[in-house]
Amino acid sequence: MSEDDSILRTVGLTKHFGNIVAVEDVDFSLREGEVMAVVGDNGAGKSTLIKTLCGVHEPTSGEIYVRDEAVEFEDYSDAREKGIETVYQDLALAEQQTVAANVFLGHEPVRPDFLGRFLGIVDKAAMRDRARESLDRVQIPVDPDAKVRDLSGGQQQAVAVARALQSDPDILILDEPTSALSIEGARNVLRVIDDLREQGLSIILISHNIRQVLTIADRISVLAQGRLTGVRDADSATRDEIISLMMGADEEGDVEEFDLSGAEEGATV
């Protein structure tokens, strides 16, 4: 069973929606302290895979292991308890509320005095200060009192990451964090990912930008039509190799007809 020093691992993970096969028989693994990229075309099953890892979806079959302990997640909070946090593709921010309120959404600090704890009075000063600290950690300047809807895409992404870091997770999952950003915004997010790896987090990075993941990731898992078609070291992998895996090639086999222009487009978003 235990093949390596993985912190998170799946065996035969499968998720069907009715007769749609979203994820099929996937053996995925994440090593401690690495950035593991998950790439694949639209609809390849990337989001579904990570949603089973963070408790949004219950797998149809297969197992999930966190540090070699078999786990079953009823919902997000179960995954959070095991140290897994997720930055969703839609960010899951309450856009009319302030940055500070979003960083602490659902976990607002209360005033330490008796009345504060008894009535659940939010300690707004502490919330603002700690939100600022968290945002400093991701090194993107955002005013904690600003409303999220007034922020740029990159800043919103930073707020979502800062919130995910609140529970001090061991594993951070980011679903397409750069796909909606400007080049500048994307560069910032990649820098944040680099910093977090330095700080010891294990990171799953969903993307369909191959150039990007070859630069930032340690390893790359490739999904095609719900199946894991290959895992490569980012150092030695080539772009063409990844693209052919994305087109559905097996470990050794190669693909006859693939539309490079389409893949190219995905690669340079």
Chain contacts with ligand ADP (rule: CB under 6 A): 17, 20, 22, 40, 42-48
Q: Cα–Cα distance between 156 and 102 in angstroms, integer? A: 10
Q: 149 and 95 in contact (C-beta within 8 Å)?
A: yes
Beta bridge partner(s), residue 204:
36, 173
Q: Cα–Cα distance between 57 and 53 in angstroms, integer? A: 8
Comparing C-alpha atoms, which of 224, 222, 268, 167 is closest to residue 36? 222
Comparing C-alpha atoms, which of 146, 149, 178 is closest to residue 161? 178
Question: Of 18, 106, 112, 200, which lies in the binding site for other proteins, with binding defined by CB under 8 A?
Answer: 106
Q: Does residue 77 interact with other proteins by CB under 8 A?
A: yes
Per-residue binding string, other proteins, 191-220, x by CB under 8 A, is ------------------------------
Question: Of 69, 120, 256, 261, which lies in the binding site for other proteins, with binding defined by CB under 8 A?
Answer: 120
Per-residue binding string, other proteins, 129-148, x by CB under 8 A, is ------------xxx-xxx-
Question: Of 58, 61, 70, 94, which lies in the binding site for other proteins, with binding defined by CB under 8 A?
Answer: 94
List the interface residues with other proteins, window 167-196 (CB under 8 A).
180-182, 184-185, 188
Q: 64 and 70 in contact (C-beta within 8 Å)?
A: yes
> Cβ–Cβ contacts within 10 Å for residue 67, how many?
15
Q: 59 and 52 in contact (C-beta within 8 Å)?
A: yes
Q: Which spans of this chain sit near Mg ion (rule: CB under 5 A)?
A: 47
Chain positions contacting other proteins, by CB under 8 A: 56, 76-77, 80, 88, 90-97, 101, 105-108, 110, 119-122, 141-143, 145-147, 150-155, 163, 180-182, 184-185, 188
